[in-house]
Amino acid sequence: MTRLFLFLCLWLSLWSENVLGSILAIDYGADFIKASLMKPGQPFDVLLNRDSKRKIQSTVGWKKNDRLFGSDAANIAGRFPLDSFSSLKFLQAAPYESEAVSFYTSVSTADVVKTERGTVALRRSDGTEWSVEELIAMQFSYVRELAESVAGEKVYDVIVTVPPYYTQFERDAVVDAIEISGLRTLALINDGTAVAVNYAMTRSFPEPEYHIIFDAGASSIRATVVQFSSVASEGKSKASKDATQITVQGVGYDRYTGGTELDRRLRDLMLNDFQKRYKRDISTDKRAMAKLWKEAGRVKAILSANSDAMATIESLAFDIDYKAKFTRAEFEAACKDLKTRYAVPILEALAHAGLKLDNITSVILTGGSSRTPMIQDAVRAAVGASKIAQNVNADEAAVLGAALHGAGLSRQFKTKDIRISDIGPYDIQVAYQAEAKNPGARPRTINTLVFPAGSKTGTKKTLTFKRQNDFSVKLAYKASPAPGFPTEFLEAEIVGVSEAIQNITEAGATDPVVKATVMLSESGFASVRDAVVTGEFKDESITGKLKDFFGKGSSSQSVDETTADVGTAEEESTTVTSSSSSSAPEASATAVKAREPIPLEIEVKFPTISPMTVKEKRAGRDRLLAVDAEETSKRKREEARNTLESYIYKLRDLLEDESSEAPFVKCSQTQERKAIAEKVDETLVWLQDHGEDADTIEYIDKRTALESLERPIVHRYKEIEEFPKALNNSQMWNWSTRLFLTEAKMNLTKELEEGTVGRYTKEELDDLEKTLKDHESWLNEWVEKQKKVKMNEDPVILSSEMRARAKVLENHLQKLVKKRPAKPAKKSTSSSKSSTAAAAEQTDSESATASGAEGSSTSIPHDEHGHDEL
């Protein structure tokens, strides 16, 4: 399969000169993180980690006081099961009592605790607690460091993929982690949509096509029905191409039937086999369970390509080395209840899209678990083998598509014009209490569906309320989006209603109402964007009365009280208001101003699971910065110690080589070697006695003391190496200058004889010759002195000084070489002369010049040496 990034040089060739920022894309999975960097002038590809791997395990952990990431963090789980944290994606915004947390505890050895917000934190073996957002932020920060090492600059903007079923709670948690990591959220994109962008990047769609993106990941299985079509580009010219429109028609998903569940089934097979064979219960042994989990992942990968695999775990528990053979048939039998669930998301997505399988061109497989034979068999049985397509990179399609979408959003890059229209997966309704008609009436809650499942993202709705006082509006899912998750996610308190209605009524409005705008953003967030009080104003002019008479008096219709009380939801439209002329401009301006809607204040609250507050995020950011600073300090200290140790061993090797031909011996004196040997021994003793407690500065000071003793020896050796080069350079410029002078003087003599204007004057050549002689004299004198200096003695002339003096000669010579020739004098010819007379005059002039006659028109003075002067 042709890699996408090979084509990107066609699309990413131009960018804005005013904005030169980098964009980071992260595909954060339960098992692996994939990242990509978009930077002007930088080849577009997946980021490599420090081990040159194209994907990073989604794990952070501690080995005692050392923080680790990726495979390093995952590999220590068997030794430090309470300090290695994987599969954190399951816990994003998950309530402590939810099914997500129960599932997580069944696959992880981590110690789970409840936070003040009702979500989950993980506790290390030393008692330190980290929220899930902070742990994921650490991983984002690690990826950011990788990106910055490639970009060579700071990276701030990031686009992150999320499953389409993610709730507002989970999306908030992703954004909180991004902000704690020090990044800025450019956008969130559903992972199926990101794969669609990747798929469309190198393809055109003359006719609309429907495809299903079947994403089988570690955490879940998702199916996204996507329509690809071509639309005319805005401002299209003859040379421009049509844009590609990606429209999501439906989604289906299963939150827990992914690769992690398969690992869990295989681990339980091993656990049961061990306990049956050795009659020992190890289900509460965290180290043993961590070892089983790691081996289950390895064996599952082998069974994807082979009919059987051998599980081997050294010292699993009770000093028992576990070894057992498992077959694919045995594994699939343990997962037989899952087989009927693998294809269900496809059927759900088709039903939501209102399409049939016949309408689908292909089912595009992506996600690491799509390689599992039992999942492929289930999909093949549901859609037919002819529909299956494996024409995208299963691991990297989502992150590459996200990066391309981010590049389009940033407007820094010139990319293929791909437009996205995504949908929300849940019914979102507005809930509020109706105003009591009677003083003692029982309060009544009204629910209005504003964004049905399948609503397009980027949609705004306007709600109209007939209210006289402040009131609250709650946004909620019509049903629980996942087991254990609440339905209400946002409450907007609309404040200042009474005062605003009084002000607009005094300005002449009738039937004042509150209009609130609710928005479903492109990243899938629902919010109450703004609220205003508005009303109807009658036009008392003759024109206005005539319009009223004919039924066209107002562009704003009155709101039926009953309809308004239940909340009307309508697509927001732009109202164009025309102002009539007035004989009193000031009064007219006041009237127009008074007739504008009056904005209301909105106080946002979170009735159930709240996102992290600014204070909490700042505290989390400070904690991460403190850890980063500590690790940086530790890393510098270790580097300083390692550098000192390696330097000591290098000096010891030099001292032990007593060969007379060794450069160190030839360039050093006996007393110098002795001083170095004593200092080396002294430093080694210090390193053994105090090296563990020393700080970075002490290591640097010890090395500096040793370097000061070796420096004169190194200096002599370098000068011995550089002296011939510097001497050759000096002699080359002497020879070049001498050659230039010889030729220039010959030309000058000829020019004087011919009476022409030369390029160089005698004074200029004399000055250059003087500079040359001074340089030759100095060079001969000091080279002779240097020849008498021994190799273990300091040089009397430095190569740097030789080059500096040669540079003076070089500059003087280059100045003359680059000198522009003098322009010849202009000849004036009278128009009244005949051509014959002019020719005769020219002949006479040439004759006079050739003979050197005194009667020529140009008089050439002579200097005291008899040379012609110009």
Backbone angles phi, psi at 192, to 5 degrees: -65, -40
Chain-wide mean pLDDT for the chain? Answer: 86
Give the pLDDT confidence score for residue 367 in this predicted structure. Answer: 94
pLDDT at 591 over 50: no
CB 523 within 8 A of CB 171: yes
Our CA dihedral for 623, 624, 628, 630, rounded to 10 degrees, sits at 20
Q: What is the bridge-based pairing of β-strands 418-421 and 243-254? A: parallel
Radius of gyration of the chain, Cα coordinates, nearest whole angstrom: 41
Give the pLDDT confidence score for residue 411 in this predicted structure. Answer: 72
pLDDT tens, residue by residue, 650-660: 999 999 987 87
CA separation for the pair 167, 486 (Å, rounded): 10
pLDDT at 709 over 60: yes
Q: What is the bridge-based pairing of β-strands 308-317 and 320-327? A: antiparallel
Give the pLDDT confidence score for residue 563 in this predicted structure. Answer: 35
Residue 4 gets which letter from DSSP? G
Better pLDDT: 277 or 14 = 277
Burial bucket for residue 366 (CB in 10 Å: 0-12, 13-18, 19+)? buried
pLDDT at 84 over 80: yes
pLDDT tens, residue by residue, 456-503: 999 999 999 999 999 999 999 999 999 999 999 999 999 999 999 999
State the residue for tokens 């029982």: 442
pLDDT at 174 over 70: yes
pLDDT at 153 over 70: yes
pLDDT at 725 over 70: yes
CA separation for the pair 136, 617 (Å, rounded): 13
Please give the average per-residue pLDDT across 749-777, as a whole number: 89
Cα 642 to Cα 649, 676, 691, 710, distances in angstroms: 11, 19, 11, 19
CB 448 within 8 A of CB 564: no
pLDDT at 781 over 80: yes
Give the pLDDT confidence score for residue 631 in this predicted structure. Answer: 92
CA separation for the pair 519, 797 (Å, rounded): 79
Give the pLDDT confidence score for residue 537 in this predicted structure. Answer: 82
CB 468 within 8 A of CB 497: yes
* SS3 assignment, position 381: helix
CB 218 within 8 A of CB 368: yes
**Among 753, 95, 189, 722, residue whose Cα is nearest residue 418:** 189
Give the amino acid at 397. Answer: A
Please give the average per-residue pLDDT across 294-303, as a whole number: 95
Name residues whose C-beta falls within 8 Å of residue 142's C-beta, 6 or more positions apart in sequence. Answer: 56, 60, 69, 70
pLDDT at 843 over 60: no
Give the pLDDT confidence score for residue 573 in this predicted structure. Answer: 34
pLDDT at 177 over 80: yes
Burial bucket for residue 281 (CB in 10 Å: 0-12, 13-18, 19+)? exposed
Retrieve residue 502's tokens: 């009084």
Please give the average per-residue pLDDT across 163-183, as a whole number: 97
Please give the average per-residue pLDDT across 318-332, as a whole number: 95
pLDDT tens, residue by residue, 101-149: 999 999 999 999 999 999 999 999 999 999 999 999 999 999 999 999 9
Residues of the chain with pLDDT > 70: what percent? 85
Give the pLDDT confidence score for residue 275 in this predicted structure. Answer: 95
Please give the average per-residue pLDDT across 580-608, as a whole number: 65
Please give the average per-residue pLDDT across 531-557, as a whole number: 60
- Reduce the secondary structure of 843-855 to three states and give it as a string: HHHHHHHHHCCCC
CB 388 within 8 A of CB 366: no
- Full-model pTM: 0.79
Backbone angles phi, psi at 365, to 5 degrees: -85, 135
Burial bucket for residue 280 (CB in 10 Å: 0-12, 13-18, 19+)? middle
Q: What is the bridge-based pairing of β-strands 209-216 and 221-231? A: antiparallel
The beta strand positions in 422-556, using DSSP E, are 428-434, 444-451, 459-465, 471-477, 488-495, 509-520, 526-537
Please give the average per-residue pLDDT across 317-337, as a whole number: 95
Residues of the chain with pLDDT > 90: what percent? 74
pLDDT tens, residue by residue, 127-137: 999 999 999 99
Our CA dihedral for 327, 332, 334, 338, rounded to 10 degrees, sits at 160
Give the pLDDT confidence score for residue 660 in this predicted structure. Answer: 77
Backbone angles phi, psi at 60, to 5 degrees: -130, 140
Give the pLDDT confidence score for residue 596 in this predicted structure. Answer: 85
Domains and CATH numbers, the chain: 4-259+340-421 (3.30.420.40), 428-572+591-611 (2.60.34.10), 613-820 (1.20.1270.10)
CB 156 within 8 A of CB 150: no
| H/E stretch holding 809 | helix 799-817
Give the amino acid at 672. Answer: E
pLDDT at 839 over 90: no
Backbone angles phi, psi at 464, to 5 degrees: -115, 130
pLDDT at 551 over 50: no
Please give the average per-residue pLDDT across 796-821, as a whole number: 93
State the residue for tokens 């437009």: 419
Give the pLDDT confidence score for residue 435 in this predicted structure. Answer: 76
Spacing of C-alpha 659 from chain mean position: 55
pLDDT band with cut points at 50, 70 and 90 for residue 870: very low
Retrieve residue 788's tokens: 């008498």
CB 507 within 8 A of CB 525: no
State the residue for tokens 């990179």: 393
Q: Give one DSSP letter per residue of 349-374, joined into a string.
A: HHHHHT--GGG-SEEEEESGGGG-HH
pLDDT tens, residue by residue, 662-692: 899 999 999 999 999 999 999 999 999 998 8
Q: Identify the weakest region by mean pLDDT among 580-584, 633-637, 702-706.
A: 580-584
CA separation for the pair 709, 706 (Å, rounded): 5
Name residues whose C-beta falls within 8 Å of residue 667's C-beta, 6 or more positions apart in sequence. Answer: 713, 714, 716, 717, 720, 791, 792
Retrieve residue 46's tokens: 């997946």
Backbone angles phi, psi at 638, to 5 degrees: -65, -40
Q: What is the bridge-based pairing of β-strands 84-85 and 120-123? A: unpaired
Better pLDDT: 530 or 241 = 530
Give the pLDDT confidence score for residue 543 in this predicted structure. Answer: 54
CA separation for the pair 716, 319 (Å, rounded): 62
Q: Give one DSSP letter per residue of 88-101, joined into a string.
A: GGGGTT--TTSHHH
Name residues whose C-beta falls within 8 Å of residue 68's C-beta, 6 or more positions apart in sequence. Answer: 60, 61, 62, 76
pLDDT at 583 over 60: no
Give the amino acid at 814. Answer: Q
CB 344 within 8 A of CB 333: no
Please give the average per-residue pLDDT across 156-168, as a whole number: 97
CA separation for the pair 260, 536 (Å, rounded): 60
Name residues whose C-beta falls within 8 Å of residue 786's C-beta, 6 or more positions apart in sequence. Answer: 723, 795, 796, 797
pLDDT tens, residue by residue, 1-48: 334 433 343 334 333 333 447 999 999 999 999 999 998 888 888 999
Give the pLDDT confidence score for residue 696 in this predicted structure. Answer: 94
H-only helix segments in 464-596:
497-506, 542-549, 561-566, 585-594
pLDDT tens, residue by residue, 399-413: 999 999 999 887 778
pLDDT tens, residue by residue, 188-217: 999 999 999 999 999 999 999 999 999 999
Name residues whose C-beta falls within 8 Å of residue 592's C-beta, 6 or more positions apart in sequence. Answer: 579
CA separation for the pair 689, 528 (Å, rounded): 66
Q: Identify the weakest region by mean pLDDT among 18-22, 202-206, 621-625, 637-641.
A: 18-22
pLDDT at 791 over 90: yes
Better pLDDT: 433 or 452 = 452
Retrieve residue 651's tokens: 């000096």
Give the pLDDT confidence score for residue 539 in this predicted structure. Answer: 61
Retrieve residue 835's tokens: 């051509």
pLDDT at 452 over 60: yes
